[in-house]
Amino acid sequence: MNWKLKALIIWVLAVPAFTGFPIHYLHGRLLAAVDYGWIIYGAIVYAAIVLLLGKKIYKITIIIALAITIPLVLLGTLISIIGLLISGWNVGDLMDIIGHYAHLMATMIVVIPLALSMITVLPFYRLESHILQSRHGVGMWPKIVLMFLRVFNHIFYFVIPNIIEVIREEGVLPGRGVLTSGQTSKKLPLLKRLRKITQVLVNIGVESICSAIRFIPLWVDEISMLPDKHTVNIITQNKESSED
């Protein structure tokens, strides 16, 4: 299947996320918070990502979604509960807060992987190759696009997969479960596993930023060495004038 057909399928799948159709027509809720329609939609989106882009991309998008969603939901819930305690405790309001953030979390862990898939399905390597091979020089905006592609590809395809491999080795995620000492680890207790996962999510954000910052000077030097479009045009015009 070529990238154009994959992109079409992924982008068509995004329509219900923005319009609500036909999700809102599937009635019923799980624990009075998350619509069954949204659960079904999420399962379809996940299946499409795995089939069209592969398990590796699916895992990366889920990790990014959790890294964004969990801190946001926990912080929002905490602030809302503190506000509730100050204004006056009410069990009904507490259930509304829990239901709101449960729905928000369910939405984000579907929408974020979907949005990332809408981007990664596009052949960025072709765009980068086209910019680098331009005979007419490279303008300011193409250079900015090239820098974005370098940062995005590095974080998405190198930093996050490496972190996933590390946490799999430590037994936090399903995998070989082999420690650095070479001994097979037993399943970690739930509390320790959750603490590890939280630590991993923080590490992903920190490592992504630090890794990108480390390579940005090198990429800036490389991109700055590309022939400037304005300069190339002047040289071309001078050559044409001299020939005339």
Q: What is the pLDDT of residues 143-170, one digit of tens each?
A: 788 888 888 887 777 777 777 776 666 5
At 141 the pLDDT is 78
More confident: 105 or 225: 105
CA 26, CA 36: separation in Å to the nearest integer?
A: 7
Which tokens is 212 given? 């990108």
pLDDT band at 189 (very low <50, low <70, confident <90, very high): low
The domains of the chain are located at 3-122, 125-230
At 183 the pLDDT is 42
Per-chain mean pLDDT for the chain: 76
At 193 the pLDDT is 65
At 168 the pLDDT is 65
pLDDT beyond 60 at 184: no
Dump pLDDT digits (tens) for 48-84: 999 999 998 998 899 888 888 888 888 888 998 888 8
Question: Helices marked H in 32-123 — which ranges?
Answer: 36-53, 55-87, 91-120
Q: Which residues contact 111 (CB under 8 A, 6 or more apart)?
A: 17
**C-alpha distances out from residue 164 to 69, 139, 161, 173, Å:** 18, 37, 5, 8
Which tokens is 22 given? 């036909």
At 179 the pLDDT is 36
pLDDT band at 5 (very low <50, low <70, confident <90, very high): very high
At 238 the pLDDT is 57
Dump pLDDT digits (tens) for 200-215: 667 766 776 776 677 7
pTM: 0.69
Burial grade of 58 (CB within 10 A; 0-12, 13-18, 19 or more): buried
CA 221, CA 225: separation in Å to the nearest integer?
A: 6
In the chain, % of residues over pLDDT 70: 72
Dump pLDDT digits (tens) for 81-127: 888 888 877 777 888 888 888 888 888 999 999 999 988 888 877 77
Report the half-sphere exposure of 99 (CA within 13 A, side-chain side): 13
In the chain, % of residues over pLDDT 90: 12
